């Protein structure tokens, strides 16, 4: 079981002081938070991708490479990478590069995003959001798994004899989570490929996410990847803690009441009742999140949102101390107790390499005759049929789904 934190990278005024950090201040603070996550014993740090104020994380791979260079054990990830408005070729190259510079300590979460205007900013139509997600991911997988790619789809220019560089580390593509808060088609896509499914259950009642996760588990088994219990599931969460629960409520209330993300809607008490947001003592957080297994089954990754809404760096680091010192060690034990041996661990690059190569040497890509040259479209396949895979739907048809 992996535990970590995720940041949405918002730059929000602190309602208790009136201070709004600069972009540089917030970026540097987030790097400090990521490094401290490793120091307190967490496993994962994830950052979102946004292209509009008040968010700063327009280039998650750049920031994650910076974090990876300053840590030794931490897995760096995204929450999420926009599969709809990024070119799959660029995603393939950037995240393979991140794989290499982090020595495999990375994965990524793909999603459509929840900011409608981003589509025209990058020349896309929001009405094509799902077809874009399906086709772009089919191409991304091919770019990682095939040394030479021929491609003809609907949403980008064709590729002929193209090789994405660098090739994935050890010949093993980065592990992909598909993130969703509402869309069953994304759960279906994750299941079809045998990838992970991350239900970012931070805004809606648990029953909604139960349906999405159950759909993913059943379809994961349908496509022959294992039993429903062997599907790879991640969950989001939100916490704010003080040693005394009333202090936690008093301290967090001005942030909750003023943060744009909460929309000045339900009260903090109503919101914590309806969602996983837990404001209280470390023991209350332990009790709430230990019970997630009863709701969603055994799962592999739990990420917490703790650095948003204008909370100052000092407070966030205090939250990390409580999370790593008092909460996560207990949750590790409680969620491991009674966990069936058939339930897989969270995927890591090292484990996936070993599953493929055993104790033998992993593949190390080098330029050679079997590679396309990206200039003359030289390819061992150029005189044969084009490689298939222009859409998820076509691929599903070929597999008899």
Cβ atoms within 10 Å of 45's Cβ, excluding its own: 28
d(CA 124, CA 134): 14
Q: How many domains are there within the chain?
A: 1
Structure tokens at 223: 């496509």
CA distances from 202 to 4, 83, 113, 176, 302 (A): 15, 21, 15, 20, 12
Per-residue pLDDT of the chain (401 residues; tens, 9 = 90+): 999 999 999 999 999 999 999 999 999 999 999 999 999 999 999 999 888 889 888 899 999 999 999 999 999 999 988 888 789 999 999 999 999 999 999 999 998 766 667 767 767 777 777 888 899 999 999 999 999 999 999 999 999 999 999 999 999 999 999 998 778 899 999 999 999 999 987 777 788 899 999 999 999 999 999 999 999 999 999 999 999 999 999 999 999 999 877 767 789 999 999 899 999 999 999 999 999 999 999 999 999 999 999 999 999 999 999 999 999 999 999 999 989 999 999 999 999 999 999 999 988 887 764 555 554 444 333 333 332 333 344 444 333 33
Sign for the CA dihedral angle at 160, 167, 94, 176 comes to positive
What angle do helix axes 88-101 and 60-69 make, rounded to 10 degrees? 10
CATH code of 239's domain: 3.20.20.30
Measured distance CA(286)–CA(335) in Å, rounded: 10
Answer whether 76's CB lies under 8 Å from 68's CB.
yes
- Global confidence as pTM: 0.89
Domain of residue 317: give its range.
2-398
CA distance linking residue 233 with residue 222, whole number of Å: 16
- What is the maximum span of the chain, computed from C-alpha positions, in angstroms? 71
CA distance 337 to 333: 6
């Amino acid at each position: 079981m992996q535990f970590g934190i995720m940041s949405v990278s918002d730059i929000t005024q602190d309602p208790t002081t009136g201070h709004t950090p600069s972009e540089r201040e917030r970026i540097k603070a987030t790097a400090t938070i990521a490094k401290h996550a490793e120091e307190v014993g967490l496993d994962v740090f994830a950052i979102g991708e946004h292209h509009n104020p008040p968010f700063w994380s327009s280039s998650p791979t750049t920031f994650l490479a910076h974090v990876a260079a300053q840590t030794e054990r931490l897995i760096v990830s995204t929450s999420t990478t926009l599969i709809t408005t990024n070119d799959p070729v660029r995603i393939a190259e950037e995240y393979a590069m991140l794989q290499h510079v982090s020595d495999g300590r990375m994965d990524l979460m793909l999603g459509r995003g929840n900011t409608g205007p981003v589509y025209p900013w990058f020349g896309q139509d929001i009405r094509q959001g799902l077809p874009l997600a399906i086709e772009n991911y089919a191409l991304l997988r091919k770019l990682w798994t095939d040394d030479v790619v021929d491609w003809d789809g609907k949403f980008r220019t064709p590729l002929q004899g193209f090789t994405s560089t660098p090739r994935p580390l050890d010949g093993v593509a980065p592990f992909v989570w598909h993130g969703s808060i509402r869309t069953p088609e994304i759960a279906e896509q994750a299941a079809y490929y045998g990838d992970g499914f991350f239900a970012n259950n931070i805004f809606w009642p648990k029953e909604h996410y139960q349906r999405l996760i159950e759909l993913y588990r059943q379809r994961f088994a349908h496509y022959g990847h294992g039993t429903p219990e062997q599907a790879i599931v991640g969950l989001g969460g939100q916490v704010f803690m003080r040693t005394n629960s009333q202090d936690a409520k008093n301290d967090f209330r001005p942030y909750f009441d003023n943060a744009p993300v909460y929309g000045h809607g339900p009260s903090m008490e109503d919101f914590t009742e309806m969602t996983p947001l837990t404001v209280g003592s470390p023991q209350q957080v332990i009790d709430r999140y230990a019970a997630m297994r009863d709701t969603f089954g055994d799962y592999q990754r739990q990420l917490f949102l703790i650095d948003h809404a204008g909370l100052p760096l000092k407070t966030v680091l205090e939250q990390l101390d409580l999370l790593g010192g008092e909460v996560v060690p207990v949750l590790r034990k409680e969620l491991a107790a009674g966990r069936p041996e058939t339930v897989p661990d969270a995927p890591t690059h090292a484990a996936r390499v070993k599953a493929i190569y055993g104790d033998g040497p992993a593949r190390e890509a080098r330029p050679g005759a079997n590679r396309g040259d990206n200039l003359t479209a030289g390819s061992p396949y150029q005189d044969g049929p084009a490689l298939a895979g222009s859409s998820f739907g076509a691929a599903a048809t070929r597999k008899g789904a």
